[in-house]
Amino acid sequence: MNEISLNNILNKIDANSNVLVVYGSELVPDELDQLISKIPSRSVSKLDVKNSSQIDVSSPTYDLIISLNGDFNYEIYFKILKPNGKILLTDRENLQSVLTLNGFQNFVKEDSFCVAQKPNFDVGATRKLNFKSSQKVWQFDPDDIQENDLINTDDLLDDLDLKKPQVVDKFDCGTSASGKKKACKNCSCGLAEELESEATGVQKKNQETVKSACGSCYLGDAFRCASCPYLGMPAFKPGEKVQLAGGLAKSDL
């Protein structure tokens, strides 16, 4: 650390203040010793020197935090700083934006360091608002409103706003030439689901109302009666239309 940088840091330290110096493993020990040896000359009330991994979140304690290792404990720094307390860090890209998002203000860049300040209130602080003193601001006399001050809402609309939009039908759902309902390939109006539901209902109704004499014809010869017309035919699904010899069709299952 050169002499100019060291003096800039020392000038930020006020008398009777509580100071925390944070260091990291990558910091050269000689630079740390150099800074610590000069701080007592500023007549501080308290000086703590800690590794960044040893910082505990506690009540606001410090007036100034000097972070020489460029760590990212901004949220912790904000909590342990007193109102109006300052933080001094090694400059880096987008540092001002990051500090602003963490609640700091009054960002100043000096030499190779940046200084930011905590607002004059602590986290969770509340303040009662006095609305009585501001009530008169919202009072006015009806005569104060001039006709020229009012806006005709019709003037806010142009011809394009008043034009009725044209609805373009991108689908061909409707009826076929025979008058039967049909759905297009990419139907999204619900007609496809409606037709499918109707077809399922008809098939289910047919299965419930039409039964064979024994009710077991579809299972195969082992379950058929001696006079069953399906003797010798393979098993089939219930309700399936079966073609018999001679061109006759049965669909009673």
Asked if residue 214 and residue 112 are part of one domain, the reply reads no
Asked if residue 113 and residue 7 are part of one domain, the reply reads yes
Name the nearest CA neighbour of 11 among 31, 33, 32, 41.
41
Using DSSP's 3-state secondary structure scheme, residue 212 falls into coil
Q: Tell me which residue range forms the domain holding 36.
A: 3-117
Kindly state whether residue 189 falls inside one of the protein's structural domains.
Answer: no
Asked if residue 107 and residue 8 are part of one domain, the reply reads yes
Kindly state whether residue 178 falls inside one of the protein's structural domains.
Answer: no
Name the nearest CA neighbour of 48 among 19, 90, 10, 71.
19
10 Å Cβ neighbour count for 190?
A: 10
Domain termination residue (choose one: 117, 135, 156)? 117
Kindly state whether residue 50 falls inside one of the protein's structural domains.
Answer: yes
Distance separating alpha carbons of residues 130 and 168, to the nearest angstrom: 58
Kindly state whether residue 200 falls inside one of the protein's structural domains.
Answer: no
Q: Which of the four pLDDT bands, split at 50, 70 and 90, describes residue 142?
A: low
Kindly state whether residue 171 falls inside one of the protein's structural domains.
Answer: no
114 is in an annotated binding site: no
Q: Could you read off the pLDDT of 105-124 as tens digits, one per residue? A: 999 988 778 899 999 876 66
Kindly state whether residue 125 falls inside one of the protein's structural domains.
Answer: no
Domain termination residue (choose one: 117, 144, 165)? 117
Distance separating alpha carbons of residues 23 and 55, to the nearest angstrom: 11
Domain count, the chain: 2
Instruction: Tell me the CATH number at 33.
Output: 3.40.50.150
Mean of pLDDT over the chain:
76
Domain termination residue (choose one: 117, 134, 167)? 117
Burial 204-227 (b: 16+ CB within 10 A, else e): eeeeeeeebeeeebbeeeeebeee
User: Does pTM surpass 0.85?
Assistant: no
Q: Could you read off the pLDDT of 147-175 as tens digits, one per residue? A: 566 777 878 888 888 888 776 554 456 66
Q: Could you read off the pLDDT of 169-225 as tens digits, one per residue? A: 544 566 666 667 777 777 777 778 887 887 776 655 555 544 556 677 778 888 878
Structure tokens at 112: 């190779």
Kindly state whether residue 133 falls inside one of the protein's structural domains.
Answer: no
Q: Which of the four pLDDT bands, split at 50, 70 and 90, describes residue 42?
A: confident
What does the DSSP 8-state code read for residue 123? T
Asked whether the CA dihedral 216, 222, 227, 232 is positive or negative, the reply is positive
Kindly state whether residue 106 falls inside one of the protein's structural domains.
Answer: yes
